Structure 1
Amino acid sequence: MYNVHAQSELGSLTCALRRNVAERPDHLAIWTSGRSLSYREFEDLARRFAVGLLASGVERGDRVAIALPNGIEATIAIYGVLLAGGAFVPLNPTIKADKLAAILANCAASALIGTASIADMLAPAMTAQPGLRVIVTGNEVPGNMLSFDRLLEQDGAIGPAPLAVDLAAIIYTSGSTGVPKGVTMTHQNMVFASSSISTYLRMTADDRILSVLPLSFDYGLYQLLLCVHVGASLFLEPGIGFPGTLVRTITTHGITGLPGVPTLFQVLLSLPALDEYDWSALRFLTNTGAALHRSTIQALRTLMPDASLYAMYGQTECKRVCYLPPAEIDRKPDSVGIAIPGTEVWIEDDTGRRVAPGEVGELMVRGPHVMQGYWNDPERSAKRLRPGRWPWERILATGDLFRQDAEGFLYFVGRSDEIIKSRGEKVSPREVEDRLLEAPGVLDVAVVGVPHTILGDAVWAHVSPRPGISLDARGLQQFCQARLESHLVPYKIVIHEQLPKTPNGKIDKRALAAT
């Protein structure tokens, strides 16, 4: 019999969830330290939550903000919103009141899902949007808000599944101005990205992925989407506050995939007696956000010889751009690789001309993963989305500077808004950071430009030491002078006990530039 309902969900994120229920209902879907769900249980709870959302007045096409920490509730909320035909807006649960109010107003959210603590900061948002529904997890729910658990008690029909062209998510990302931009992604965008990434990672339903990355961060969010896409199991941890627990989880629960950022891998490698554990189940590691230092790469490969290491580069505006095949890591350790399957990349100069191998220019991206634009911001959308080969197509201008070698491998040079102009020369922070990371005892480096009356911008390097090491700024200056061109040598080197980090684990250069 012709199944209209099944046909209607082709290409949507909810299709994979329902397929898993049909093919592997009792397979582990989500695991946290206190709870686990099979795919049957996960889909049932997400569907019930969708029914509850619709009963509360949320309508198909509405935007629903989710400000929850890593956990079962967050995953249910994400897929519940999708099953209800809405678009989810993932937010960091530590978001501040002014930013929360601005984002909720910008996307005209009809509902916000958060913990009880978020109620304390809702006054500005409620003033701007008096009809905003607030859904709270936990036992204590203020009288003017809805209970997450009560919504889960609902049951009934949820209507037709979303289409591939429907809006699935708005993911807010800070730009160079610090004003959040809402990246709009359709189901098709996110399904394609999940398919392409899972293809080059060779993911299957047998994989067990451990993620400490926030679900509000697109790198963390896609761990959930990837696992559901292939029917794998996702182990969620709230962060890296207890690295010893992570080691035990990896080695005792048969974890096969570990996505991370440099901070995570450095913390893990700093622990004692790691060689006493069995790492043989770990099949792959992924890294993005910032490059891993060569010493970190070597240490990981020594400790986990059976795990393939994928260096990657991406932007929220298209999720993933490129990856370095693990077999090339020795031959091209500084490269971020080639375009992900099903996409095309190239480099252009300021005139729009494709540059020759070795020349630096702006990276351009073409493929079904490119965003639809920034929500309610046509001006900034037009700057990033350029006309493509076909009248209906748009190409993503990343704003990042790259070069490409004769074999087509890409090399990140710097973000165009981070390039420092000092003494009439252009300075790539990445080039200075890479050299300083080679200095003995250096753990983290961030290079920023500071206005200077004579130099234009002065190159400042902020450095933190490895545990138990004392660094000397003058010694590091001499180290740089011996290895860098004069205009690249930092004007000043500042030693910190630790460099400030964003909630996503990246070094917070904006905070350093403000000091």
Structure 2
Amino acid sequence: MRPQRLLHEALPRAAAAAGDKPAVIVEGRAYSYAQLLDAATRLGGALQARGVARGDRVAVYMDNTWPCVVSIYAILMAGGAFLVVNPQTKADKLAFILEDSGARILLSDGHLAVEINAALAQLPAPPVLICSGDATALPAALAFDDMLAQAPLQALATPTIPLDLAALIYTSGSTGNPKGVMQTHQSMLFATGSLVDYLRLDPDDRILCALPLAFDYGLYQLLMSVHLGATLVLERSFTYPAQVFARMREFEVTVFPAVPTMFAMLLSFHSREPLLFEHVRRVTNTAAALPDDFGSRLREVFPAALIYRMYGLTECKRVSYLEPELAESRPGSVGKAIPGTELYLLSAQGEPVAPGESGILYVRGPHVMLGYWNRPDLTAHMLKPGKLPGERVLCTQDLFRMDSEGFLYFVGRSDDIIKTRGEKVSPAEVENVLHGIAGVREAAIIGVPDELLGQAIRAYVVLNPGVTLSERQVRAHCSARLENFMVPRDVVFCEDLPKTTTGKVSRKLLAQADTEASPA
């Protein structure tokens, strides 16, 4: 058998090996590998018939559903590059992403019609719209189910090679507009294999995913599952934990990936009604460090599980992991480089730092992004000359310490981006929304430490004389225009904001003042 070279080649292999095996269980309904291959092949052919060719971008704006899973693999099989957009995304950002990516086609859900219509109205050349579910509010949309039913089942030929684009993963940028991280088939296939390696997964695993597929942590649960020929238990969200827990028991989930906020909800539920998942053998955490007291309590819930602490960023998927057996002997560490990659620290001047000293973390490996779509300036900020002539490595812009044995310890972020709930938030993007509120003179956003979120978003707002606004009104305005994770947790009204010598609002000075004002 020839080696796998393209990301989606795992699907026909899994279908050939065990076609009747459940590939994905969506909200309790099982779909086999044969069904997934059939649906993805048909939709892929329909996409090609509508002009999708190698490298063309196709957007997926859906909840965690069967059509979303089919769409991702269909786009790859057609030779295109997928971009999954969070279904919480509002119209203005959706329009920006569609225009910036040059997406030829948008696959979406009918219940998102309000945002879709508002977004498409902003575009001079809207993409072709394919919609699942009730599309009565989207009269121009093609029906997802009709396309599957009408498309012939035939092998799809594409000239795709491993260096071609597989996905654009949009993440917040310091300018306020999201930026598309370019990942190739080669980089995503390598990352998938490395994750499977260090997590010690196998085809018998049943992996839960209650994380958005638009979030790379959620997306890779799907990619790992198909790569292995395992089963993905897919939920729309973790909003109703009791329902998720019931599915975990019913389908004997073996892998539980989550972020600290989900673990907090789980442990809160556990304190009221004891939970026990004896089938779970892997628990993974990223986005923010788990609070120290979570470890022993999680072992009550998952007595047979290895608990992994990890660190990563969208630009390379995963950076490091801590072997579960070392959790007690290496408190606070996020471990070492994932298999097949290398990490090192440099000072701001580009010089190596001694063990125990803080430095900027650099990542070297096949999983590093190609760059940011249409943003050579931002690409140059993150990709730097490497150890070999012509090589580029990822400069994370994050500060770490490394001990004499190579274990990493997070120190802090060196840029303005706030990382909350595992998502990156641009302060400028939230500030732009705040400045759109009538009566707001100035506004600034900072991230403040939070045990569960990693960072919480705090807004400082200066009002014009005579204007009265409540925290509730500010948050409601933001909720109507931003994804939920971008809405400020705190709104602080003040008379002025600290400025630099050039008169620019200084988030750094604001953060310092905030720290000094906070109780010890």
Q: TM bucket by the smaller chain?
A: 0.7 to 0.9
Name the structure 1 match of 2:427: none
SS at match of 2:192: helix
Aligned pair partner of 2:163 in 162, 165, 176 = 165
Distance (Å, rounded) in 2 between the aligned partners of 1:509 and 1:405: 37
* Residue-by-residue CA offset, 1:219-254 (whole Å, 9 max, x unaligned): 100100010111110001111121112222222321
Name the structure 2 match of 1:144: 140
Distance (Å, rounded) in 2 between the aligned partners of 1:113 and 1:15: 22
Distance (Å, rounded) in 1 between the aligned partners of 2:388 and 2:75: 33
Confirm or deny: 8 A CA contact 1:211 1:237 kept in the other structure: yes
Distance (Å, rounded) in 2 between the aligned partners of 1:87 and 1:353: 38
Distance (Å, rounded) in 2 between the aligned partners of 1:503 and 1:356: 42
SS at match of 1:64: strand
SS at match of 2:31: strand
Structure 2, unmatched stretches of 5+, are 419-445, 462-474, 494-520
Post-superposition shift, 1:451? 8.5
Distance (Å, rounded) in 2 between the aligned partners of 1:120 and 1:286: 36
Name the structure 1 match of 2:88: 94
Structure 1, unmatched stretches of 5+, are 1-5, 421-428, 438-442, 453-495
1:108 aligns with 2:102: yes
Confirm or deny: 8 A CA contact 1:14 1:161 kept in the other structure: no
Distance (Å, rounded) in 2 between the aligned partners of 1:85 and 1:337: 37
Amino acid paired to 1:72 = W
Matches within 5 A, 1:342-353: 342-353=340-351
Q: Which moved more, 1:24-33 or 1:192-201?
A: 24-33
TM-score, with length taken from structure 2: 0.80
Distance (Å, rounded) in 1 between the aligned partners of 2:292 and 2:271: 22
Confirm or deny: 8 A CA contact 1:126 1:132 kept in the other structure: no
Distance (Å, rounded) in 2 between the aligned partners of 1:284 and 1:178: 37
Matches within 5 A, 1:313-462: 313-418=311-416, 433=449, 437=451, 446=455
Amino acid paired to 1:37 = Y
Distance (Å, rounded) in 2 between the aligned partners of 1:503 and 1:295: 33
Name the structure 2 match of 1:216: 214
Amino acid paired to 2:364 = R
Post-superposition shift, 1:127? 4.6
Q: Number of paired residues? A: 445
Amino acid paired to 1:68 = M
Q: Call closer, same or farther: CA 1:512–1:185 in 2, change over 3 Å.
A: farther
Matches within 5 A, 1:46-61: 46-61=40-55
Q: Call closer, same or farther: CA 1:513–1:377 in 2, change over 3 Å.
A: farther
TM-score, with length taken from structure 1: 0.81
Confirm or deny: 8 A CA contact 1:261 1:505 kept in the other structure: no
Q: Which moved more, 1:57-66 or 1:304-313?
A: 57-66
Amino acid paired to 1:344 = E
Name the structure 2 match of 1:29: 23
**Greater relative contact order (Cα < 8 A, sep 6+):** 2
Q: Which moved more, 1:397-406 or 1:29-38?
A: 29-38
Q: CA RMSD in A?
A: 2.8
Amino acid paired to 1:91 = V
Confirm or deny: 8 A CA contact 2:334 2:408 kept in the other structure: yes
Post-superposition shift, 1:186? 0.2
Q: Call closer, same or farther: CA 1:254–1:451 in 2, change over 3 Å.
A: closer
Q: Call closer, same or farther: CA 1:242–1:356 in 2, change over 3 Å.
A: same
Q: Call closer, same or farther: CA 1:392–1:15 in 2, change over 3 Å.
A: farther
* Residue-by-residue CA offset, 1:178-212 (whole Å, 9 max, x unaligned): 32010000000000000000000011110001111
Amino acid paired to 1:125 = L
Amino acid paired to 1:150 = D
Confirm or deny: 8 A CA contact 1:345 1:363 kept in the other structure: yes
* Residue-by-residue CA offset, 1:342-363 (whole Å, 9 max, x unaligned): 0000111011111111111111
Amino acid paired to 1:135 = I
Aligned pair partner of 2:35 in 38, 41, 60 = 41
Distance (Å, rounded) in 1 between the aligned partners of 2:98 and 2:273: 48
1:67 aligns with 2:61: yes
Amino acid paired to 1:151 = M
Name the structure 1 match of 2:187: 189
Confirm or deny: 8 A CA contact 2:456 2:489 kept in the other structure: no
SS at match of 2:334: coil
SS at match of 1:294: coil
